[in-house]
Every structure is written in structure tokens, then in C-alpha cells.
Amino acid sequence: DAGVIQSPRHEVTEMGQEVTLRCKPISGHNSLFWYRQTMMRGLELLIYFNNNVPIDDSGMPEDRFSAKMPNASFSTLKIQPSEPRDSAVYFCASSPTGGGTEAFFGQGTRLTVV
């Protein structure tokens, strides 16, 4: 398997624009997580899906952020409108359902909002 695939790897956008980050989890994994990494706040969980259903979105910072998982092989994280403080590295991770398993991370998307 190719692992968790994220696109794009880098994104530079202007403030106010819409940004969409994409993730393809490992086939057969039932759990998908979106994390954000910043110098100030470290690694934070934004949202967690299980079997394509959002289970915990308490980490989503505000209504400008939304995430979807239309099927088991694809998820998106959208920011609209984007702001400079959204600049961060966004990671997607997937995991088989059940205890005793680790999360597998993608390479991340480095977002810069100018």
C-alpha cells in the first residue's frame, strides 16, 4: 500500500480565498483523523471520522473549517475564507478500527496564507 496520501504538499493562497486539502487513507482503515501542526500549539486533532461519519469535531477551530468524507477512500478539509493564522501543516492519518492499532500519517500539507 502507498500509505496515506495527501495533496497538495504545499499550498500558498491569499487571505480570503477558499482552500481545500485532500486525503486518501490506507485501504481498509475505518478511522480517519485530521491534525494541524503549528509552532505555538503543536499537534492538534481537528476532526475524527469513523466509517465515514464525523465522530468528534470538537477540535475544529471555527465555522470557517469544514471536513467531509464522502466515501471510505477520500476526505477533504476546507477552509473558507482562509486567514493568515490558518498557516500550518495539516496532517491526515488513518487507522484500522479497534484498539491496539496505531495511526498512519500522511506527509502533510504545508499551508501558507498571505
Partner 1 sequence: AQSVTQPDIHITVSEGASLELRCNYSYGATPYLFWYVQSPGQGLQLLLKYFSGDTLVQGIKGFEAEFKRSQSSFNLRKPSVHWSDAAEYFCAVGVREYGNKLVFGAGTILRVKS
- Pick from 79, 25, 20: nearest CA to 48: 25
- Contact (Cβ atoms closer than 8 angstroms) between residue 67 and residue 61: no
Using CB under 8 A, which of 23, 48, 65, 86 touches partner 1?
48
Least Å distance, CB 72 to partner 1, is 14
Q: State the Cα angle at 59 between 53 and 63, rounded to 5°.
A: 85
Q: Is 108 in the site for partner 1 (CB under 8 A)?
A: yes
Q: How far is the CB of 37 from partner 1 (least distance, A)?
A: 9
**Residue with smaller CB distance to partner 1, 46 or 79:** 46
Decide whether 19 or 29 has the Cβ nearer to partner 1.
Answer: 29
Taking CB under 8 A as the rule, does residue 95 contact partner 1? yes
Distance set, CA 65 to CA 18, 60, 76, 99 (Å): 10, 6, 11, 29
Among 18, 56, 83, 85, binds partner 1 (CB under 8 A): 56
Q: Which of 31, 65, 75, 113 binds partner 1 (CB under 8 A)?
A: 31
Strands of the chain, DSSP E: 5-7, 10-13, 19-24, 31-38, 42-50, 53-56, 65-71, 74-79, 88-95, 104-105, 109-113
Interacting residue ranges for partner 1, rule: CB under 8 A: 4, 30-31, 33, 42-43, 45, 48, 50, 55-56, 91, 93, 95, 97-108
